[in-house]
Amino acid sequence: MISSPLDEKRSDQVALQDKDLQSIQEVRNLVARAHEAQKAFAKLTQTQVDDVIGSVGEAALAESTRLGALAVEETGYGIVSDKHLKNYFVAKHVTDYIRPLRTMGIISEDPVRKITEIAVPMGVVAAIIPSTNPTSTAIFKCLISLKAGNAVVLSPHPAPTRCIGESARVCYEAALKAGAPEGIIGWMTIPTLEATQELMKHKNVAVILATGGAGLVKAAYSSGKPAYGVGPGNVPAYVDRSADISKAVKDVLTGKTFDNGTLCSSEQSIVVDAPVESRVAEELIRMRGYFLNQEETRKLEAVAIQQNGSLNPQVVGKSPAWIADKAGIKIPEGTRVLIVRLTGVGRGNPLSCEKLSPILSYYVVQDWREGCERCKQILAYGGMGHTLAIHSKDSAVIRQFGLEKPAFRICVNTPATHGSIGFSTSLPPSMTLGCGTYGNNITTDNITPMHLIQVKRMAWETTEVFPSWWTEPERKETRTPEMVPTKPIATSVPELIEAYLASWKARQPSKNHARTSETQPSHSKPDAQAPRGNPSREDKPGAVDFVCEQDVRKAAQLRHKIYVHSKTIITPAAQELGTSHKIFITI
């Protein structure tokens, strides 16, 4: 039976639908295995987990060259030697950094503050892997997830599925060899958008590590799960008049050309102080940078930038020769970077965006203040919160850049690419860099295993709630008639107070004030400072008409009683204090 074209079309549609269903089912199976494996893995000791980390790091290091070559072969992005260096950085530097960290069981005990901290793994980590740095990011996320006592399931970008899967396999086999349970690392072999969404929303996924485009990061934060997403980087590098020009230019080109600019923290623009502009341009040319003229710039824009203003993904990670050939531009052999002179930032200057390729925009400013503002504009055009580089010997200028720039990694006199990830600086080594609220991220940190643990705290008492000098007041549900004076019906309280004060003044010469129950010696003189209502000045007790809080405190201090009658006015504060100390006697 011969099938019709319509039948073939329907068959293709069914196959596509089946692929979606297969990928979703694959994710469910991977998460189920990872969930069970993590329960067992969480019971390992710190030493056992560290053995797993050491084994994974060694295996990844041994395969770093092969995996880097596989990544370039599959994606067409970057340079094999630089991919190898990225893998080496993760397998060696990251492993060396995280291995001594305490992430299992009791991680700290403070005898002074009397607080003990206990690490609790999050569970299953959903790790989204990009196409620009596929193998290094896959190894990195496996390492930090395992170090924190978690399982991990990788969702690869469709383009580098094979090299990401191979990286995960290398890590997984090494982990099993060191005693990790089966299923502790999983990876999708049928990546689809639907499967990635299923992974991020799965009930047994605890946290998401998302590296990718803005849409993917937004989806991660919208999944309803805790997520670490990282934003794009449109990194400016400012070269101050005080800089070591030769080193500054070398650093900028080192960062920009590394792996053909595929790291999001690579330099996208160079902002040059006018007094040293000619020297910087000379150094750029000497180091095989090529300045495009206006016509060549327009041709480059047509190839590198799409109509909606976004970067053409076809130029990502490509060589200058490849890009120039596509744009119809002749460049000298051995050119390392294409340089375009710009005077503005934004849609009117398309090449002022993040380019992820060896294309560098070039600006000239009159001083560091104008340079500061230009860098802000560049960051605002797609790089908020990420990274900035400054090359200067003036500590005051460096400090101002640190204080004013909306970037959370300020790399000083070093390539932004390598400084931001902790390769050429002492920042925590990481392939996932947070951009804070400026970039709609939850953190500004370089992500480490410490971001993938939860901390339980045991706290011992350091301050008594009721110290020895405290006397707990007696509490009664109801007050007896003797303790609650009857409120006059016909006269208001202010009127009674006014009447009492008038009568008190009139009685000053007499001795009709309240007395205490204790007998005073016949030779004692009247106490002019005795509080109203304190009957210490009479031999016979007499009730007072008005009592305030000060009267009660004085009586309590002297251990006296205050005599009251049914119409005595007692302020609320005096009533409460007097009742608790049993000061009042009703007569």
User: For the CA atoms of the chain, what is the radius of gyration?
Assistant: 38
Q: Which amino acid is at 288?
A: R
- Looking at residue 410, the DSSP 8-state letter turns out to be E
Residue 531 has a CB neighbour count (10 Å cut-off) of 22
Burial category of 562 from C-beta neighbours within 10 Å (exposed 0-12, middle 13-18, buried 19 and up): buried
- H helix or E strand, kind and range, residue 40: helix 5-41
Is 264 a known active-site residue?
Answer: yes
Q: Which amino acid is at 384?
A: M
Q: Which two tokens stand for residue 527?
A: 């106490």
- Looking at residue 438, the DSSP 8-state letter turns out to be G
Q: Which two tokens stand for residue 64?
A: 């770093």
Q: Which amino acid is at 309?
A: G
Phi-psi region of 90 (alpha: psi -120 to 50; beta: other; left: phi over 0): alpha
Q: Which of 264, 372, 411, 435 is an active site residue?
A: 264
Contact between 410 and 401 (Cβ < 8 Å) = yes
- Report how far apart, in Å, the C-alpha atoms of 146 and of each of 30, 168, 229 are: 16, 12, 19
b/e 370-392 (16+ beta carbons within 10 angstroms → b): ebbebbbbbbebbbbbbbbbbbb
How many contiguous H segments (helices) and E segments (strands) does the chain have?
19, 18
Among 392, 408, 345, 414, residue whose Cα is nearest residue 373: 345
CA atoms of 59 and 52, how far apart (whole Å): 11
Pairing status of strand 235-239 against strand 227-229: unpaired
Please report where in the chains the tokens 């503050």 appear, as a residue. Answer: 113
CA atoms of 495 and 67, how far apart (whole Å): 94
Pairing status of strand 544-547 against strand 453-459: unpaired
CA atoms of 204 and 207, how far apart (whole Å): 9
- CA angle centred on 64, ends 144 and 210, rounded to 5°: 35
Q: Which two tokens stand for residue 33?
A: 């295995």
Q: Which amino acid is at 176?
A: L
Residue 365 has a CB neighbour count (10 Å cut-off) of 19
Give all strands (DSSP E) within 230-325, no chain letters: 235-239, 267-273, 289-291
b/e 421-433 (16+ beta carbons within 10 angstroms → b): bbbbbebbbbbbb
Among 189, 199, 204, residue whose Cα is nearest residue 124: 204
- H helix or E strand, kind and range, residue 387: strand 385-391
Among 201, 205, 185, 183, residue whose Cα is nearest residue 193: 201
What positions carry a catalytic annotation? 264
